[in-house]
Structure 1
Amino acid sequence: MHIAKSFRRFTGALRLAALALCLLPLAARADEVLVFAAASLKPALDEIAASADVASIGEVKVSYAASSQLARQIEAGAPAAIFVSADQDWMDYLAERKRIVADSRGDLLGNALVLVAPKDSTAALEIAPGFDLADALGADGRLALGEPNSVPAGKYAKAALTKLGVWDAVSARIVAADNVRAALNFVARREAPLGVVYRSDATSEPAVRVVATFPDDTHAPIVYPAALIAGHDSAAARKLLEALRAPPQQAIFRRHGFDAPPKR
């Protein structure tokens, strides 16, 4: 009996020691930078993260998701050093909670909102007030977009469709995705005949084509602010944020369909 108890204590101690050893590598080095970035940035930011300019800064890891999800994770204590949001609202959300380094915040990029269809689709629409989007979806087709109450691309899409007077006609036929890249994939896989995404998303996906671009005055300016996260400020993070704003990296963003941020 005593031998069995001693053995259980011994094996328990071994498990705790093994767990401690497994956790040791999780301590971040000074030159590691974790970036939380809006999902729409993935193709461009993956290329930038692999570039020589960024590799010289240190090890850069990027986690992509909807800005809403990332902001809430940062609020909960996720160890991101930099946050790049697809709208001002979620950066404001963190600023109000003192989770960003205020003087590091700046507008990084702009973008455009587009209506996309599968590459071989013959859909033709001109975006104008009252345009017949519901008819273009067909009898049972759905419109793919980011979740319209939290995901920035979905919020922009809902605002544009509302201003154009067509939201009520299609609101019951929305397939709401967790992020804009997921919405893009619904169209690329032909699971939805049309979708509303960013121009940069359409640029990166050969399986879709742009049907039309939403006029700028139908939605708020699309802006990607970036900032350092309070408590995770470091020399490497500051260098990376500076690099993202530098001409070589900005040229990569442009090639992937992004713009300079709109002037305020």
Structure 2
Amino acid sequence: MRATMTAALSAGLLAACASSPPVAVSAQPISVVAAGSLRGVLTQIARDHEVRTGQKLALSFAASGLLRERIEKGEAAQVFASADMGHPQRLADAGGWSTPRVFARNQLCALTQANINATPERLLDVLLDPSVRVGTSTPKADPSGDYAWALFRKADAVRPGSYAALDRKALQLTGGPTSPKAPAGRGTYAWVMDQGQADVFLTYCTNAVASQREVPRLNIVAVPSALQVGADYGLTVRRGAHPAAFAFADALTAPGAQAVFARHGFGTP
């Protein structure tokens, strides 16, 4: 009898330890700043999280480098979801932010006008064609631009001289502090291409899919493996933030949120 009671008590204690108490809800919305490429998916995940937990979230989207600068200048964000690992790591290295972790992955695709005859095999030829205008986001301010330049470096290994040519001709059309903003209700890349500002735009595949949905005449060309650049999305939380901020960050890597990321075309961490 004693052994049975002891076993039952131990099982009860283990169950109690395994069940985490609910996280207290913050009276103020948790401030979340996130890469622009996360707008659609994170808005949906945040809405689900608010319904499930009762915790309000205040979302703000912009290029990751610009968000990091805003935080460094004093913006009181509590969660930072970046399109790379470098910007959140810089905040962590300075102190005051948690060690970044990968929560989603992305890749580059080429978004092209209907008159551009491009295939994965011919993509480098098309990018190097002097008559083809190549659009990118702005390096340093927006990781998408950094990934485009990483692609240029890979191109140089495939065809020497490619980096210099692409570095010279690429049009930095989005993601910078002075880049024109798309009208309300328009996707940035769909609007840029709809306005005819570029013939080919190198952007995240998730952005390309959303742009084609908005402007069906646009085409999406896969980047061949020799040129492909993977994008690791990094997540960090301000140290000392309300526990609800850490709970939301944890929720982004939980199966429910990861299923939403997958439906939007993101890869798993």
- Pairwise same-fold verdict (TM > 0.5): yes
Cα distance change, pair 224–125 in 1 and its aligned pair in 2 (3 A): same
3-state SS of the aligned residue for 1:197?
Answer: strand
Cα distance change, pair 128–238 in 1 and its aligned pair in 2 (3 A): same
The answer for the alignment partner of 2:106 in structure 1 is: 111
- Counterpart CA distance in 2 for 1:219 and 1:213 is 6
Q: CA deviation at 1:126?
A: 2.7
The answer for the alignment partner of 1:229 in structure 2 is: 238
Say whether residues 1:240 and 2:248 are aligned partners: yes
3-state SS of the aligned residue for 1:257?
Answer: coil
- Counterpart CA distance in 2 for 1:57 and 1:227 is 22
C-alpha distance after superposition, 1:191-219 (max 9, x if no partner): 2111000011112222232122242x646
Say whether residues 1:260 and 2:268 are aligned partners: yes
- Counterpart CA distance in 2 for 1:184 and 1:214 is 23
Cα distance change, pair 253–93 in 1 and its aligned pair in 2 (3 A): same
Superposition CA RMSD, Å: 2.4
- Counterpart CA distance in 1 for 2:147 and 2:85 is 12
3-state SS of the aligned residue for 2:197?
Answer: coil
Say whether residues 1:156 and 2:137 are aligned partners: no
3-state SS of the aligned residue for 1:123?
Answer: coil
- Counterpart CA distance in 2 for 1:134 and 1:209 is 18
Say whether residues 1:124 and 2:118 are aligned partners: yes
Contact 2:110–2:208 under 8 Å retained in 1? no
TM-score, normalised by the number of residues in structure 1: 0.76
Q: Which moved more, 1:202-211 or 1:83-92?
A: 202-211
Contact 1:146–1:183 under 8 Å retained in 2? no
- Counterpart CA distance in 1 for 2:76 and 2:46 is 18
The code of the aligned residue for 1:143 comes to V
Contact 1:184–1:195 under 8 Å retained in 2? no
Contact 1:145–1:183 under 8 Å retained in 2? no
- Counterpart CA distance in 1 for 2:128 and 2:90 is 34
3-state SS of the aligned residue for 1:259?
Answer: coil
Q: Which moved more, 1:108-117 or 1:217-226?
A: 217-226
Contact 2:154–2:227 under 8 Å retained in 1? yes
1:1-264 to 2 correspondences below 5 Å:
30-51=27-48, 53-55=49-51, 56-102=53-99, 105-118=100-113, 120-127=114-121, 131-135=125-129, 138=131, 141-165=132-156, 166-179=162-175, 182-183=188-189, 185-205=191-211, 206=213, 207=215, 208-215=218-225, 218=227, 221-231=230-240, 233-261=241-269
The code of the aligned residue for 1:112 comes to Q
3-state SS of the aligned residue for 1:112?
Answer: strand
The code of the aligned residue for 1:223 comes to D
Contact 2:30–2:56 under 8 Å retained in 1? yes
Contact 2:37–2:206 under 8 Å retained in 1? yes
Cα distance change, pair 188–99 in 1 and its aligned pair in 2 (3 A): farther
3-state SS of the aligned residue for 1:111?
Answer: strand
TM-score, normalised by the number of residues in structure 2: 0.75
Q: Percent identity?
A: 26
Cα distance change, pair 132–142 in 1 and its aligned pair in 2 (3 A): closer
C-alpha distance after superposition, 1:213-245 (max 9, x if no partner): 242x646531011111134x1122122112211
- Counterpart CA distance in 1 for 2:248 and 2:154 is 38
- Counterpart CA distance in 2 for 1:126 and 1:220 is 14
- Counterpart CA distance in 2 for 1:173 and 1:185 is 21
3-state SS of the aligned residue for 2:117?
Answer: coil
Q: CA deviation at 1:121?
A: 3.5
Contact 2:91–2:97 under 8 Å retained in 1? yes
Unaligned runs of 5+ in 1: 1-28
Contact 1:147–1:179 under 8 Å retained in 2? yes
- Counterpart CA distance in 1 for 2:90 and 2:121 is 32
Contact 1:31–1:57 under 8 Å retained in 2? no
Contact 1:31–1:236 under 8 Å retained in 2? no
